[in-house]
Structure 1
């Protein structure tokens, strides 16, 4: 046994974790991991541009620091990060991010190399098989090209191990020659509901009373396919149908113009707390008509609330969460006719929708924060003490198929 292995064999692992922003969906995981690790988290910023979420720092007890960054530049550069990550720890976890976060990701991995400590790159990146519409033309394409170079040349090569968030990133890693014993698989998860069911705000009751509610939730970007949702919904017949569109973004005015004054369609903006969960619980059918999404956490949330799911093969979560014909339907990304047929099928058989919703709740019950915590704990214990064979004990994920209803 080496001195490093001897130091870590009988103590809580000292884990350094570098992340780009204080995302509300990650903080509960870090709280649980801090109970089994001596964990320190460095965030490059509070939140990224366009993020509207609110984080209460008093709610979390794990040790973290939001680092100061250089202003007025398009990249996130934290001058103190190199000095902080050269401290004492047993293993370094680096959460994957976009091109603007390259400095933090590469600095943390390089510091682990200098310290001769193992590094784990935590990634949900995969290349979509379908064309993805973009918002900013050539500038966006140039940025994506540079991101691919960053991942291909450096971030998929330098780390010692990889924590893949779903099966899609595993495929990308295998294509680049990463061996199986260097990859662990986990999922994205959300905390258990604080209120089940929640107390519905008056706004939610007024919009959804006596209605059959279909809902989508996403940032208003072309890649989320909300324009296709609106067009498909408008083809449906039934005055008792109601489409709730949750989210915000610079594309809102264009999307509102597509409704054709259909009184059944309601934009409710960005939602948090009881307002958010009220709409989720009211939704019998939940849509994520995305062209490409690393995961799609809104599907986890909708399944918790008992919704039947309609989504695309562009969502990273489908191979883990959505079983065709059981708790939802999976269609080809961008196929608006298939989306319409899926909605027509479900809205003509509400007993099927209820069965799918019940199955969603059952399927998501064991796929929460506790599972992800266990996946990380086993991987880190294995890699710090053995450094070779990985046995996560994760269940084999169900396989979704693309269907054409």
Structure 2
């Protein structure tokens, strides 16, 4: 059986999953954004293994931020290519139409779970996505939020296969002593790591931290990463007179283990903004691999699978600075409990961040589709 996998770009956290597909099926990988980051932020993508049959379809024919040339190339590949099944996590409108015209099989690989009609265009696209979901041969839902979302849309439960997203365990990689580098040996470090864009909700984290700084004298906030909104958030910190804060700029894959290892608490304060949110948030998995307590909002998909309130961290309401402040303060109040929460994070990570069962569940969704 010939499978086409349509995916934005090859990342290290997809290596094991895609390798298992390549071994089990006659597979061709089509990448639509290889070499191009999200929201204008450079991302460290993985090299496509040379032994894979693959194509990169991105082009320089852009209208606004839309790669029209890529859409044309993708349409040609799907309308005239040789395959039996399409597995896609992107450009699903084009993929589904091609499948219907060619009378092939369609597996929807998705982490998305919130459908807000924020404009007329978005309303039409959301209706189209609902139609696609109901008429897919199977759905591979990456996370409980995604699973529930498609069941609520009316998709038959028997054709929705769920597994939490999996991330790379960076805890065994070489590290440098970040606390020594920045002279933070005696500080409790709160860490954010990711793209600095609006949906990350960093203004709420900075405001919460400005209150914490009045109560706790030995705390420090590290905002690791880069993005178009960095200057804005630096200005917010300055206006609030936040003293114990560091904006590091871009952090490479080789360095992130040192940041996770140095922190005491990891926070992902993402928000709902128009139709945007955090479908998963792999940094939650990554921080948990280092035995760290984690705090995330209800706008983060990973929170529904990876965080248990008052067990290994907290799930808080998005944009709620008071709840974020109290959650961080609660964890900081006891070193013993903070350590215990971190140990529980690692246990949850080991149980749920399992690439073998991740791959097996995806295979089950494919087998169901072709049955």
TM range (shorter): 0.7 to 0.9
Shift of 1:310: 1.0
Give the direction of change, closer, same or farther, for the CA distance of 1:197–1:357 in structure 2 (3 Å limit): farther
Matched, 1:173 2:134: no
Alpha-carbon contact 1:201-1:275 (below 8 Å) kept? no
User: TM-score, normalized by length of structure 2?
Assistant: 0.87
Matched, 1:253 2:231: yes
Shift of 1:321: 0.7
Alpha-carbon contact 2:113-2:149 (below 8 Å) kept? yes
Superposition map of 1:272-287 within 5 A: 272-287=252-267
Structure 1: unaligned runs, 5 residues or longer: 1-12, 97-103, 132-139, 387-405
Q: 1:29 aligns with which of 4, 13, 17?
A: 17
Higher helix proportion: 2
Alpha-carbon contact 1:45-1:66 (below 8 Å) kept? yes
Shift of 1:322: 0.7
1:88-124 CA-to-partner distances (Å, cap 9, x unmatched) read 333211114xxxxxxx423322222233221011122
User: TM-score, normalized by length of structure 1?
Assistant: 0.80
1:38-81 CA-to-partner distances (Å, cap 9, x unmatched) read 22111112124423122342656432210143513132332332
> How big is the alpha-carbon RMSD for the aligned residues of Structure 1 and Structure 2?
2.5
Partner of 2:315: helix, strand, or coil? Answer: strand
Alpha-carbon contact 1:189-1:372 (below 8 Å) kept? yes
C-alpha distance in structure 1 between counterparts of 2:30 and 2:268, whole Å: 32
Superposition map of 1:297-336 within 5 A: 297-336=282-321
Superposition map of 1:1-400 within 5 A: 13-46=1-34, 47-48=36-37, 49-57=39-47, 61-69=51-59, 71-74=61-64, 75-77=66-68, 78=70, 79-85=72-78, 86-96=80-90, 104-127=91-114, 144-145=122-123, 147-152=125-130, 154-193=131-170, 196=172, 198-200=174-176, 205-236=181-212, 237-260=215-238, 261-291=241-271, 292-366=277-351, 367-384=353-370, 386=371
1:181-237 CA-to-partner distances (Å, cap 9, x unmatched) read 2211122111233x5263216687335423211111232233221111111111113
Shift of 1:178: 1.1
C-alpha distance in structure 2 between counterparts of 1:56 and 1:171, whole Å: 31
Structure 2: unaligned runs, 5 residues or longer: 272-276
C-alpha distance in structure 2 between counterparts of 1:347 and 1:208, whole Å: 16
Alpha-carbon contact 1:22-1:43 (below 8 Å) kept? yes
